[in-house]
Structure 1
Amino acid sequence: MIGLFFGDNDFPKKILKKIKELNKAYFIIDLSKNKNFKKDNNSYQISIGQFGKIIRLIKEKKCKNVLFAGKINKPIFSKLKLDLKGLYYIPKIIRASKLGDAAILNTIIKVLAKEKIKVVSSIKYNPELTLAKGNYTKLKPNKNDHTFIDKGIKSLLSLNAYNHVQGLVIRNSKIIATETFKGTKKMLHSIKKSNKFYSILIKFPKKKQDLRIDLPTIGLDTLKDCKKVGVVGVILKSKQNIFMDKDKCINYANKNKMFITIK
């Protein structure tokens, strides 16, 4: 039995499909904005502030392992439904929220750990959605590109542990955009295309990130957004990414003379 804490985007749907193929027993705590899993008979709608109810459900199901996947939006704390355990733990969650989304999830994991509930990697059932080190396209980064890429990676690694930044865009050695809590799409849409220089997107896990949760994710829409603003290359971290529609992305990149490189 696996407990699934599901948020938004397509990643949870991929996990659920694989779990069903494996005939693995599961239940869902649906934390998505639009309640994407409400039609599933094994889905439960529980506020993140109702820790008592969540923990009771997990224990009733005799479940020792849970998994987090998808974008879980920062709750509006004043509107949360709280039970007794929620009242006890919510001050810690609120304090963590000031440090960023990653800190909120890390705090929730600690709460579950106290109840002897283990959080497993979000890619436990879908390792095929990550990529190992290498270049996956016909086009490869050149010597100058590698210099720019190293600078971008160094910048990402210099951020504090709870910064929400997972990505940036570098152009001709200058960082022209960094990801905010609004995500990669908003960052890419903020860029003006240059007729003189091309750009490179770098997405790495946050510094000291818990690699069981919230891994950097890209897919075909990301590459299409990149193409519109003159981003010709995407750099990800080996085995620490979620790559949706991998084959379609590689075909698109080859067709549009883009590179996908895993460091």
Structure 2
Amino acid sequence: MIGLFLGTTDFPKLIINNLTKKNIKYFIIDLTNNNRFIKNNNSYHISIGQFGKILNLIKEKKCNKVLFAGKIDKPRLSTLKLDFKGLFYMSRIIAAFKLGDAAILRELIKILAEHKIKVIRSNFFNPELTLKRSDLTILKPNNNDLIQIKKGIMLLNKLNAHNHVQGLIVSNNNVVAKESAKGTKKMLLSFKKLKNSEAILIKFPKKKQDLRVDLPTIGIDTLKDCSKADIKGIVLKSKQNIFLDRKKCINFANKNKIFITIK
């Protein structure tokens, strides 16, 4: 029996499909705001602050391993539902809230570990969704692109471990856009390309990010947004990005002359 802490994006659906095919028993702790998995009989919609309810459910299911998948939005502290266990951990919750959504997940993992519950990598059942170093498209980065990519990766690595930046856009040796808490899509849709520039999207995990629970994800929607923003290329991290709709993405990139490279 495996426990699934699930948020949004299509990644959780792929995990559920794989578990079903392999006849592996699971239950869902639905952390979405809109009760996304309500139609699944194995799903329980629980607030991230209801630690007692979460721990009791895991114990009831005789489960000692869980995974996190999908985008789990940071709830408002003022509206966060807490049970008795949640109140017990209140000081730790508040401290984590001040540091951001990644810190909240890390604190939840610590609490689970205190109760001897192990968190496994989100791609444990779907390793095919992470890729090794390679160029995936017909178009390859040229020498100037490689210089831009190297500088962009260096700048991304310097960013604070607790901010929301999992992606940025580089052009002409400068960072011209950075991802905020609103995500990559918002950054791409608001991006205004400079004249005669060739922009590249770099999407890596945050520095010191817990790779068990929060791998950056791209899919066909990301490719379409890149095309609208006139992005020349996309750079992902080897074995550290969830890549959905791979064939669709590569076909779309080839048709629209966008390179995709894994570093």
The letter for the 1-side match of 2:234 is V
Q: In the aligned structure 2, how far is the partner of 1:223 from the partner of 1:81? A: 37
Q: Does 1:221 align with 2:221?
A: yes
Q: Does 1:50 align with 2:75?
A: no
> Are 2:106 and 1:90 equivalent residues in the alignment?
no
Residue in 2 aligned with 1:148? 148
Q: Deviations over 1:17-37 (max 9, x none)?
A: 111111110000111121110
- The alignment's TM-score, normalised by the length of structure 2, stands at 0.98
Q: Give the corresponding residue for 1:157.
A: 157
Give the SS at the match of 1:98: helix
My pick for the range that moved more, 52-61 or 185-194, is 185-194
1:59 corresponding residue in structure 2: 59
User: 5+ unaligned residues in a row in structure 1: which ranges?
Assistant: none
Amino acid at match of 1:186: K
Q: Which amino acid aligns with 1:218?
A: I
Q: Contact (CA 8 Å) 1:149, 1:202: kept in 2 or not? A: yes
2:187 alignment partner, SS class = helix
Aligned to 1:171: 171
Percent of aligned positions that are identical = 64
Is the Cα–Cα contact under 8 Å of residues 77 and 97 in structure 2 kept in the other structure?
no
Give the drift of 1:195. 4.4
2:25 counterpart of 1:25: yes
1:55 aligned partner, one-letter code: L
Question: How is 1:76-155 mapped onto 2 (pairs within 5 angstroms)?
Answer: 76-155=76-155
Matches within 5 A, 1:29-40: 29-40=29-40
**For 1:6 and 1:58, how far apart are their aligned partners in 2?**
14
What is the CA distance between 1:71 and its match in structure 2? 1.1
Q: Deviations over 1:164-200 (max 9, x none)?
A: 1100001121111000010000000111134411210
For the pair 1:254 / 2:258, whether they are aligned, the reply is no
Whether the aligned pair in 2 keeps the contact of 1:194 and 1:230 (CA below 8 Å) is no
Alignment coverage as a number of residue pairs = 263
Q: Is the 8 A contact 1:8 1:33 kept in 2?
A: no
Aligned partners of 1:81, 1:66: CA distance in 2, in Å? 22
Task: Kindly provide the amino acid, as one letter, of the partner of residue 170 in structure 1.
Answer: V
- Partners in 2 of 1:151 and 1:67 — Cα distance? 34
Structure 2: distance between partners of 1:46 and 1:33: 10
Alpha-carbon separation, structure 1, partners of 2:147 and 2:203: 16
Q: Which residue matches 1:238?
A: 238
Q: What residue ranges of structure 2 are gaps of 5+ in the alignment?
A: none
Counterpart amino acid of residue 124 in structure 1:
F
For 2:62, the aligned partner's letter is K
Once the two structures are overlaid, the 10-residue window that deviates more, 24-33 or 90-99, is 90-99
User: After the TM superposition, which parts of structure 1 deviate over 4 Å for at least 4 consecutive aligned residues?
Assistant: none
Contact 1:65/1:119 (8 A) holds in 2: yes
Structure 1 stretch displaced more, 93-102 or 226-235? 93-102
Cα separation, 2, equivalents of 1:127 and 1:164:
25
* 1:132-156 per-position Cα deviation (integer Å, ceiling 9, x unaligned): 1010111110111111101100011
State the match for 1:5 in structure 2: 5
Contact 2:11–2:70 under 8 Å retained in 1: yes
What is the deviation of 1:78?
Answer: 2.0
CA RMSD of aligned residues (A): 1.0
Q: Secondary structure at the match of 2:99?
A: coil
* TM-score when normalising by structure 1: 0.98
For residue 81 of structure 1, report the CA deviation from its aligned partner.
2.2
Q: In structure 1, what residue type is equivalent to 2:208?
A: K
Shift of 1:235: 0.3
- CA distance, structure 2, for counterparts of residue 77 and residue 162 of structure 1: 18
